């Protein structure tokens, strides 16, 4: 009996536990002080009532013989898949509802898609990035290459012809940088993938934060992407579903690898190792697409983006370099006075009682940067930016 | 770019699609006839109101800032894990709540546990059995050995010292046979695992159907099992959650493989490739353990077991060999007149308008047998058994 030895190659993730420990130590020393966090990676606004009503109705249906539901449809209920396909229609992307797979969240699918791909593939992952792309591939024992996000490329790395990779992870709007690829940039990635017989796994979890109409909210808005990409998305940030759990993955029928239609592989994977999302949750997700649901979700996003604007203005005032915030809930700032990420974290906590997320936790290129989150209360954001302004003086 | 080539080794699963096609063809030919199914693998009784109330309350909480919940606890909420740990206490099994992982269902975990184990391990799988154990291991490219269930061993295969396997799948009460291991038999498996450094993956999804107090409902009721087993279970059949989706997996702290505590590997897998179960669903699952929830769930199970009794009596009357039904919703019958599974299926459909599940679909040892399910309406069961009685004449 052997365990998967690749798990032993995983590095312990100290980022958030380190933050927790440091904040706890500070609070112990200064029990009277209020600590404000700009490090929140979770939504905080309550969900629209119409979504809760849909889930309450669905819960009640389960108690009557006539309306009780057992196992659901393999890829998710048609009512939800067709709503998602219609949503893509509003983006100018035509989907068959059989190309949509309802999931319990983007993270699960981004990880589980690894199952249908050979372990011999090399992967190309932006740095800095959401850590689970790296971890899932270490678990599979794959060779990992990095696409460097830097101040010079505004943390939007583009393909390098000399680097050959089989699987490419892209996240736009990006976590942690908040940077968003434009269509010309995504086109370069699609062209690279088509030329190199590579597969793009596109994480669109933050797509609903995009306000600029010229920016892509789906990789399938780029010609040729249906031949080389899978898109994973989520209701988590769109509709406050981080605790309700629902997402979706789009695998185009046109995506064929080694002569095999990939959606058939993914269907087989999901029907073998997954049994679908709660009927109650799927009814809630359906309500996101009602006019009232959509309006209220957009109002929550507007609230977060107003927070982001307050942060941006403060950084501009202080002359601090940053990206993100217009079309994403995250802002990626260069630490003042060329400080390293953790040194800045420590000094900001000590002096201003403000918590940020050290960029070094997201990859080597994150050193010297910090992630600021707009997922907080307005008043807290106002107080926090004052602290950041002072720290830059 | 290569796909996981092992997927090409999977056989298409024709069992349920073949049944659907044959029934559709029959109905087309005989539109007036009512076809009754004893092939249902899904619950049909509505859930207790107290569970729906808990989910409705949880849905409403999500709409208020003060009670909104985002990302939940990594292994599932403590309120549910402690309820599950207390439930194990009633079985005489002492668990720490950190040994419990809440999941979206037993199928997901039975499949995903493969992730943390080396692909070089050989697996031992009973035949006949629930097909996904085989499929998930074909996907991983593992060598598969079989433990033969036969009429002679009452479809409860025991360890064979000459067969060395690293991972052992056990399912008791069994799907499809309804057979249940007794403690002495499970002890032999635990001893084999300990002697051979093997891991038992124990599927207890049907544990709540066990009525005989002397039979084990958890592998951890067997001494030594915490050193060699993981148990996967579910609310699907216990509480009618097939559409609500919630299960749990118990990984004991005492389970150490290659010097690594397995619960740490599983925690790492789940926090990297999973993001937990809906808060709303977890509140529903918690209500299963209230006195009223438990009583109503037990009443549903009693209803199904009464159906099973009707089926058993008919088989006894007809002198047909069978196992299962006392402590499980499934009955495994030998086809009358030594017919093969599909031949019997065809003749029963044609003559009695009754659908059963051909045993050959669950493995080579299933040939000549059929699975009968108690998950139907009482009146339908009464009519169906008349057809079976006639078929045996």
Per residue in B319-375, pLDDT (tens digit) is: 999 999 999 999 999 999 999 999 999 999 999 999 999 999 999 999 999 999 999
State how far the Cα of A168 lies from the Cα of A216, in Å rounded to an integer. 18
Q: What is the pLDDT of residues B151-203, one digit of tens each?
A: 999 999 999 999 999 999 999 999 999 999 999 999 999 999 999 999 999 99
* A14 band by pLDDT with thresholds 50, 70 and 90: confident
Contacting residues of A for B105, CB less than 8 Å apart: 274-275
State how far the Cα of B24 lies from the Cα of B33, in Å rounded to an integer. 12
Mean pLDDT, all residues of chain A: 96
* B16 band by pLDDT with thresholds 50, 70 and 90: confident
* Residue of chain B minimizing CA distance to A259: B3
- Strand partners for B124: B145, B168
- What is the model's pLDDT at position A16? 86
Using the predicted structure, report yes or no on whether residue A251 has a pLDDT greater than 90: yes
Q: What is the pLDDT of residues A369-393, one digit of tens each?
A: 999 999 999 999 999 999 999 988 8
Shortest alpha-carbon distance between residue B106 and chain A (Å):
9
- What is the model's pLDDT at position B233? 98
Using the predicted structure, report yes or no on whether residue B221 has a pLDDT greater than 80: yes
Using the predicted structure, report yes or no on whether residue A285 has a pLDDT greater than 90: yes
Do the chains contact at A52 and B44, CB–CB below 8 Å? no
- What is the model's pLDDT at position A393? 87
**What average pLDDT score do residues A169-181 get?**
98
How many inter-chain contacts (A to B, CB under 8 Å) are there? Answer: 244
State how far the Cα of B280 lies from the Cα of A243, in Å rounded to an integer. 8
Of B53, B71, B197, the CB nearest to A243: B71
Q: Which two tokens stand for residue B195?
A: 């002697």
Q: What is the pLDDT of residues B51-108, one digit of tens each?
A: 999 999 999 999 999 999 999 999 999 999 999 999 999 999 999 999 999 999 999 9
Using the predicted structure, report yes or no on whether residue B232 has a pLDDT greater than 80: yes
- What is the model's pLDDT at position A11? 85
Q: What is the pLDDT of residues A195-243, one digit of tens each?
A: 999 999 999 999 999 999 999 999 999 999 999 999 999 999 999 999 9
* Residue of chain B minimizing CA distance to A263: B3
- What is the model's pLDDT at position A192? 98
State how far the Cα of A326 lies from the Cα of A339, in Å rounded to an integer. 25
Mean pLDDT, all residues of chain B: 96
Using the predicted structure, report yes or no on whether residue A17 has a pLDDT greater than 90: no
Q: From the CB of residue A136, how many other CB atoms can be counted at a distance below 10 Å?
A: 24
Shortest alpha-carbon distance between residue A61 and chain B (Å):
9
Do the chains contact at B244 and A279, CB–CB below 8 Å? yes
Among B45, B48, B33, B39, CA closest to B15: B39
- What is the model's pLDDT at position A267? 95
Using the predicted structure, report yes or no on whether residue B38 has a pLDDT greater than 90: yes
State how far the Cα of A130 lies from the Cα of A170, in Å rounded to an integer. 10
State how far the Cα of B201 lies from the Cα of B117, in Å rounded to an integer. 12
**What average pLDDT score do residues B288-295 get?**
97
Shortest alpha-carbon distance between residue B349 and chain A (Å):
24
Mutate to test the interface with B, among A15, A70, A283 (most CBs of B within 10 A): A70
- Interface confidence (ipTM) of the complex: 0.97
- What is the model's pLDDT at position A74? 93
- What is the model's pLDDT at position A290? 97
- What is the model's pLDDT at position B58? 98
Outline where DSSP puts E strands in chain A.
36-37, 100-103, 122-127, 143-148, 167-171, 199-203, 229-234, 247-250, 256-257, 260-261, 322-324, 330-334, 354-355, 357-358, 369-373
Percent of chain B with pLDDT over 90: 96
Q: Phi and psi (nearest 5°) for B345?
A: -55, -50
Do the chains contact at A275 and B198, CB–CB below 8 Å? no
* A351 band by pLDDT with thresholds 50, 70 and 90: very high
Global model pTM greater than 0.95: yes
- What is the model's pLDDT at position A111? 97
Q: What is the pLDDT of residues A59-104, one digit of tens each?
A: 999 999 999 999 999 999 999 999 999 999 999 999 999 999 999 9
For A349-364, give the DSSP string.
Answer: HHHH-EE-EEGGGG-G
B126 three-state secondary structure: strand
Q: Phi and psi (nearest 5°) for B381?
A: -60, -45
Contacting residues of A for B65, CB less than 8 Å apart: 44-46
Using the predicted structure, report yes or no on whether residue B14 has a pLDDT greater than 80: no
């Amino acid at each position: 009996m052997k365990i998967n030895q690749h798990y032993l190659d995983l590095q312990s993730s100290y980022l958030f536990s380190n933050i927790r420990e440091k904040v706890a130590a500070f609070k112990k020393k200064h029990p009277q002080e209020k600590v404000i966090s700009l490090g929140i990676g979770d939504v905080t606004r309550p969900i629209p009532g119409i979504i809760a009503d849909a889930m309450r109705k669905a819960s009640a249906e389960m108690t009557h013989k006539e309306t009780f539901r057992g196992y659901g449809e393999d890829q998710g209920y048609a009512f939800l898949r067709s709503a998602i396909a219609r949503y893509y229609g509003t983006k100018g992307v035509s989907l068959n509802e059989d190309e949509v797979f309802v999931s319990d969240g983007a993270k699960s699918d981004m990880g589980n898609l690894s199952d249908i791909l050979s372990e011999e593939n090399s992967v190309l992952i932006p740095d800095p990035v959401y850590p689970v792309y790296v971890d899932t591939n270490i678990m599979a024992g794959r060779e990992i290459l990095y696409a460097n996000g830097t101040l010079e490329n505004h943390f939007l790395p583009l393909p390098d012809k000399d680097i050959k990779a089989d699987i490419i992870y892209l996240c736009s709007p990006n976590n942690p940088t908040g940077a968003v690829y434009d269509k010309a940039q995504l086109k370069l990635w699609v062209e690279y993938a088509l030329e190199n017989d590579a597969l793009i796994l596109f994480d669109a979890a933050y797509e609903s934060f995009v306000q600029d109409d010229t920016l892509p909210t789906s990789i399938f808005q780029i010609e040729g992407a249906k031949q080389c990409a899978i898109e994973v998305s989520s209701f988590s940030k769109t509709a406050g579903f981080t605790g309700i759990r629902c997402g979706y993955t789009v695998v185009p029928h046109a995506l064929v690898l080694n002569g095999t239609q990939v959606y058939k592989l993914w269907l087989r994977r999901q029907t073998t190792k997954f049994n679908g999302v709660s009927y109650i949750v799927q009814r809630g997700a359906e309500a996101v697409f009602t006019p009232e649901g959509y309006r209220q979700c957009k109002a929550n996003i507007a609230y977060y983006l107003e927070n982001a604007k307050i942060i941006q203005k403060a950084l501009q005032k202080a002359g601090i370099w940053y990206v993100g915030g217009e079309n994403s809930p995250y802002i990626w700032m260069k630490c003042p006075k060329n400080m390293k990420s953790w040194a800045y974290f420590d000094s900001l906590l000590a002096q201003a009682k403000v918590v940020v997320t050290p960029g070094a936790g997201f990859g080597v290129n994150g050193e010297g940067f910090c992630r600021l989150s707009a997922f907080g209360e307005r008043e807290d954001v106002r107080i926090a930016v004052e602290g950041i302004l002072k720290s830059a003086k």
